[in-house]
């Protein structure tokens, strides 16, 4: 089985300091948390920027500062969000692509997102895909619903997305696909052969889905964006604590951990 790529979703757009006192917010905090996760075994940092008040921002300058600060510490793959927060406009969301990062997220469809709606019209999806293809950025296709896989395959047909595709199954968002193992099997069984996939289970779904992904040959995303708890009723101390647990479990199950350069090779990313 190929080595395990661990992505850490450090901050997200929704979690607050009130909910998770150790949430990294400033560029320095995000870079330090990313470095701790790198030392723990992560190879990709999924990043959402925050402004001076701690609010989600898609500002080019803030993403640039975070990218440079992470790169000064380690060779993690920097993967900015183009999803942002539900209220960000398309123009705001695409700003981090101007940094030509190695990777970026590309949400493959609209979904209910708790009481909000996360809008990804066909027009947005195609524009993001085109921009990433032109810039040589490897997209991570965010799948929140079953139909999003078909949307991604449509991009391939239109020559806006190269194969093999790398998917991230975001599972257990209230209003979107549930976080059951049968749901994961459905998704894995409906992507083209040769694709790579990772799973981001939300809240209590994070750990069981991660363990199944390790066993099934998929990859794993953990971090405060998706889950702020270590276990029921106990907040995690840090993003790194969540990464460390995945590393321990993977090793027990005989799955080796990919370094960032090994992750680049697995994902066909040219540095």
Contact 41, 257 (CB under 8 A): yes
CB of 225 to Zn ion, least distance (A): 5
Nearer to ligand KMH, 137 or 257 (CB): 137
Is the bond into 252 cis (omega within 30 degrees of 0)?
no
Please choose, from the candidates 200, 184, 246, the residue with its C-alpha nearest in 3D space to the C-alpha of residue 81.
200
Please choose, from the candidates 127, 124, 147, 143, the residue with its C-alpha nearest in 3D space to the C-alpha of residue 135.
127
Contact 269, 5 (CB under 8 A): no
CB of 14 to ligand KMH, least distance (A): 6
| Gap between the Cα atoms of 45 and 42, Å rounded | 8
160 touches, from Zn ion, ligand KMH, none (C-beta below 5 to 8 Å by class) = none
Q: How many CA atoms lie within 13 A of 29 on its CB side?
A: 17
The residue of the chain with the least Cβ separation from ligand KMH equals 83
> Residue 161 phi/psi, 5° resolution?
-140, 130
196 alpha-carbon distance from chain centroid: 13
Residues that bind Zn ion (CB under 5 A): 81
CB of 265 to ligand KMH, least distance (A): 24
Nearer to ligand KMH, 227 or 255 (CB): 227
> Residues with Cβ < 8 Å from 182, sequence gap 6 or more?
none
Nearer to ligand KMH, 96 or 244 (CB): 96
Residues in the chain: 271
Residues that bind ligand KMH (CB under 6 A): 13, 81-83, 85-86, 105, 107, 113, 118, 142
57 touches, from Zn ion, ligand KMH, none (C-beta below 5 to 8 Å by class) = none
Nearer to Zn ion, 116 or 262 (CB): 116
CB of 11 to Zn ion, least distance (A): 9
CB of 140 to Zn ion, least distance (A): 10
198 touches, from ligand KMH, Zn ion, none (C-beta below 5 to 8 Å by class) = none
The packing angle between helices 122-135 and 147-157, to 10°, is 50
118 touches, from Zn ion, ligand KMH, none (C-beta below 5 to 8 Å by class) = ligand KMH
> Residue 38 phi/psi, 5° resolution?
-60, -45
| Gap between the Cα atoms of 219 and 251, Å rounded | 14
CB of 13 to ligand KMH, least distance (A): 4
Nearer to ligand KMH, 96 or 218 (CB): 96
Nearer to ligand KMH, 85 or 210 (CB): 85
Nearer to ligand KMH, 147 or 217 (CB): 147
CB of 81 to Zn ion, least distance (A): 4
């Amino acid at each position: 089985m190929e080595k395990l790529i661990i992505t850490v979703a450090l901050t997200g757009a929704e979690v607050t300091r009130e909910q998770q006192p150790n949430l990294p917010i400033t560029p320095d905090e995000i870079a330090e948390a990313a470095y701790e996760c790198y030392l723990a075994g992560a190879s990709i940092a999924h990043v959402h920027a925050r402004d001076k008040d701690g609010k989600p921002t898609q500002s080019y300058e803030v993403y640039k500062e975070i990218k440079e600060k992470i790169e000064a510490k380690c060779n993690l793959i920097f993967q900015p969000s183009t999803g942002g927060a539900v209220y960000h406009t398309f123009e705001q969301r695409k700003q981090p692509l101007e940094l030509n990062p190695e990777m970026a997220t590309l949400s493959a469809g609209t979904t209910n997102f708790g009481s909000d709606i996360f809008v990804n019209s066909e027009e947005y999806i195609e524009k993001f895909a085109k921009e990433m293809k032109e810039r040589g950025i490897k997209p991570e296709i965010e799948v929140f619903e079953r139909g999003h896989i078909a949307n991604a395959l449509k991009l391939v047909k239109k020559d806006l997305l190269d194969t093999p595709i790398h998917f991230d199954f975001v599972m257990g968002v209230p209003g979107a696909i549930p976080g059951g193992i049968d749901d994961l099997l459905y998704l894995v069984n409906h992507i083209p052969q040769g694709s790579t996939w990772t799973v981001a289970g939300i809240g209590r779904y994070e750990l069981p889905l991660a363990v199944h992904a390790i066993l099934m040959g998929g990859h794993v995303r953990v971090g405060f964006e998706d889950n702020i708890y270590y276990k029921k009723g106990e907040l995690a101390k840090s993003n790194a604590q969540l990464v460390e647990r995945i590393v321990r479990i993977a090793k027990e199950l005989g799955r080796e951990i990919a370094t960032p350069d090994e992750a680049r090779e697995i994902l066909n990313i040219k540095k």
